Amino acid sequence: MLVQPYVFVHSGGGSQWTMFDKGFKNFRQLPELPMHDYCFVHSDKETVCAGAQLIVVGRELEGIVVWRYELENNKWFKGPAMITPRVMYGSASRGTDAFFAGGINEVYQAVNIAEKYNADTKTWTVIHEMHKKRKFSSAFFLGGKFYVIGGRDENNENLTCGERYDDETNSWELIPDMLKDMAFTSSHSPPLIAVVDNNLYLMENSVSELRVYDRNTNVWKKLGVVPVEANITLGWGVAFKSIGDRLLVIGPSSSQSYYRRTVVYTCRPSPKVEEQIWEELKDCL
């Protein structure tokens, strides 16, 4: 398991990755992925960490593939493949386990299938399927449970419900209206979410606004504006993550100039404060 938090950034081309420490003061270039597949280079890729491994999922000419970077070996390995290969799923990790739910399979259908990957054994295990088929969703761990929220169903309709998975009972609980107050467009990104100190935060990409979730009332509280313009790309290409006790956001600057540079900001969020104090990390990308 990674004790020190790190940030992995896809830094250009199809096979270039950079690892930063949490203050973005030190970095290390990862070795190139040992492949030259045109499809993989130019298609979307999804990532999650499990223990000391970076998992990258994308499409090669032969289909959906999994690559993993092992920190202790400083080396890339191909596989093992998912039991049901897919993309545009919801994923999150807890220790050496990474959970994957829903997504689009190899024949471009939305699914409710869920799997768990273990970094120690390098194996996949099928877990119970969700109540809803969903793609373009987001996932996280909160209170020891695995959550999947948002996305679109098999008819491409937006889902406002969430689901909570209990690993001990291998069962899902449907949570209605988790995103009932959010604005949706036909092509918005998966929900931009992060968990800090067991609080769930969301960046509402239509207005670049920070919100925190109250599990007791199923209500989102507004916490001020995030200093990036997520609405320009409808949330796509924006990173909104937790790193230690902070929120991290990477995206287009909110400057009104014609050229919008990519900026990096962090804050130590507080659900009790209406406006958060964001600190720009300059000259780190």
pLDDT at 207: 85
Q: What is the pLDDT of residue 3?
A: 47
What are the φ/ψ torsions at residue 87 (nearest 5 degrees)?
Answer: -130, 175
Q: Are 52 and 119 in contact (CB under 8 A)?
A: yes
Judged by average pLDDT, the poorest of 36-50, 192-206, 217-231, 264-278 is 36-50
The residue with tokens 């761990």 is 141
Residue 131 lies in a domain: no
User: Does residue 145 sit within a domain?
Assistant: no
Domain coverage including residue 215: 184-285
Higher-confidence position of 229 and 8: 229
Inside any domain, residue 15 = no
3-state secondary structure 24-64: CCCEEECCCCCCCCHHHHHCCEEEEEECCEEEEEEEECCEE
pLDDT in tens, 130-160: 999 999 999 999 999 999 999 999 999 999 9
pTM reported for the whole predicted model: 0.90
Is 216 part of a structural domain of the chain? yes
**Could you tell me which residues come within 8 angstroms of residue 186 by beta carbon, excluding any fewer than 6 positions away?**
none
How much of the chain, in percent, has pLDDT values that exceed 90? 57
**How far is 107 from 136, CA to CA, in rounded Å?**
16
Q: How high is the mean pLDDT of the chain? A: 87
Number of domains in the chain: 1
pLDDT of residue 262: 83
Q: What is the pLDDT of residue 10?
A: 67
Q: Judge whether residue 51 has pLDDT over 60.
A: yes
Question: For residue 2, what pLDDT is reported?
Answer: 45
Asked whether residue 212 is domain-assigned, the answer is yes
At 169-225, the pLDDT tens digits run 999 999 999 998 787 777 888 999 999 999 999 999 888 899 999 988 889 999 999
Q: Who has greater pLDDT, 255 or 196? A: 196
Check if the beta carbon of residue 60 is closer than 8 Å to that of residue 40.
Answer: yes
Condensed to tens digits (0 to 9), the pLDDT of residues 23-33 reads 666 677 788 88
| pLDDT band (50, 70, 90) for residue 22 | low
Structural contact between residues 14 and 41, judged by C-beta atoms closer than 8 angstroms: yes
- Is 260 domain-assigned? yes
Is there a domain that residue 160 lies in? no
* pLDDT at position 64: 93
- Does 250 map to a domain? yes
Confidence of residue 164 (pLDDT cuts 50, 70, 90): very high
